[in-house]
């Protein structure tokens, strides 16, 4: 997960730069005036005093800052330690897939259009580049995520979110398809009995906001086998699932 943490750090630095780039031209100009023999300062100052180059840099930082928010939110979500995360991992990945696929084919990045026009550029010239950025993200995502060995476990762990079971169709109540959960690969009769009870609870329970850990603790008497399995799996860190699957 070190690569993820590093990526998250870089993106958050971009957020910082985006908010402070308006101060760069004057700052680096002053720095250069105080040290004109410094070649790097000369190059940076020359770039920032060029209106077109500064405008281009500003647009790119705004693009990354705005559209990376989805990635940051997901990365922050997956790295939570105080809440059960894994039952929601599959849904998050599905949403992220849709987000990337939509933007790689988007003809409108309206959130940046006013800025691009204000800086006297043609939006379409940048939209092509934005789509290429999402295309590159999609290609990398497609190589690593859809067929990752941990993906089936993420899919299977959705069953410990009662809303997934209660609000889904009948096919989602087939225990055999969740065999990435070891205990479900060859469930004994008593577990099958509890599974049937669990799947039928949706007819009698009204679910609002659910705290999963407490939900399953409350099922300790009614579903003694299933509750133990659920508590074991809902607290699995996403990182440990990925590392174990990569071995």
What is the tens place of the pLDDT at every residue in 51-90? 999 999 999 999 999 998 888 888 888 887 788 999 999 9
Domain count, the chain: 2
Q: Residue 91 is encoded by which pair of tokens?
A: 């849904």
Rounded (10°) angle between helices 51-67 and 39-48: 80
Last residue of a domain, one of 81, 114, 144: 144
Q: Do residue 125 and residue 27 come from a single domain? A: yes
Q: Do residue 96 and residue 209 come from a single domain? A: no
Last residue of a domain, one of 97, 116, 144: 144
Whole-model pTM? 0.80
Last residue of a domain, one of 144, 162, 181: 144
Q: How far apart are CA 83 and CA 62, in angstroms?
A: 32
Q: Residue 8 is encoded by which pair of tokens?
A: 């998250």
Q: Do residue 122 and residue 158 come from a single domain? A: no
Q: Residue 176 is encoded by which pair of tokens?
A: 């055999």
CB-based burial, 70-85: b 16+ in 10 Å, e otherwise: ebbebbeebeeeeebb
Q: Do residue 131 and residue 186 come from a single domain? A: no
Q: Do residue 156 and residue 130 come from a single domain? A: no
Q: What is the pLDDT of residue 241?
A: 59
- Calculate what percentage of the chain has a pLDDT beyond 70: 92
Q: Do residue 196 and residue 94 come from a single domain? A: no
Structural domain range at position 98: 2-144
Q: Do residue 128 and residue 55 come from a single domain? A: yes
Q: What is the pLDDT of residue 139?
A: 95
Q: Do residue 191 and residue 115 come from a single domain? A: no
Q: Do residue 130 and residue 160 come from a single domain? A: no
Q: Do residue 114 and residue 210 come from a single domain? A: no
Q: Do residue 88 and residue 134 come from a single domain? A: yes
For residue range 189-213, what is the model confidence (pLDDT) as tens digits?
A: 999 999 999 998 876 666 667 789 9
Q: What is the pLDDT of residue 134?
A: 96
For the chain, report the end-to-end CA distance as a whole number of angstroms. 14
Q: Do residue 96 and residue 205 come from a single domain? A: no
Q: Which residue has the tokens 């989805």?
A: 70
Q: Residue 125 is encoded by which pair of tokens?
A: 């010239």
């Amino acid at each position: 997960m070190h690569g993820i943490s590093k990526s998250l750090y870089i993106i958050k630095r971009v957020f910082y730069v985006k908010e402070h780039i308006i101060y760069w031209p004057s700052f680096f100009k002053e720095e250069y005036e105080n040290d004109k023999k410094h070649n790097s300062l000369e190059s940076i100052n020359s770039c920032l005093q060029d209106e077109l180059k500064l405008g281009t840099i500003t647009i790119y930082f705004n693009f990354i800052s705005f559209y990376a928010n989805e990635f940051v939110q997901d990365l922050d979500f997956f790295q939570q330690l105080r809440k059960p995360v894994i039952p929601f991992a599959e849904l998050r990945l599905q949403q992220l897939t849709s987000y990337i696929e939509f933007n790689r084919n988007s003809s409108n990045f309206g959130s940046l259009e006013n800025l691009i026009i204000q800086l006297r550029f043609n939006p379409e010239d940048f939209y092509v580049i934005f789509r290429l950025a999402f295309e590159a993200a999609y290609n990398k995502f497609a190589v690593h995520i859809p067929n990752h060995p941990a993906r089936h476990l993420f899919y299977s762990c959705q069953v410990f979110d009662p809303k997934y079971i209660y609000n889904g169709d009948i096919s989602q109540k087939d225990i055999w398809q969740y065999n990435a959960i070891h205990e479900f690969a060859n469930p004994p009769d008593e577990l099958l009995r509890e599974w049937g009870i669990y799947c039928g609870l949706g007819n009698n329970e009204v679910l609002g906001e659910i705290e999963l850990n407490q939900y399953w603790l409350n099922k300790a008497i009614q579903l003694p086998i299933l509750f133990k399995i659920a508590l074991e799996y809902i607290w699995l860190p996403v990182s440990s699932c990925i590392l174990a699957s990569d071995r």
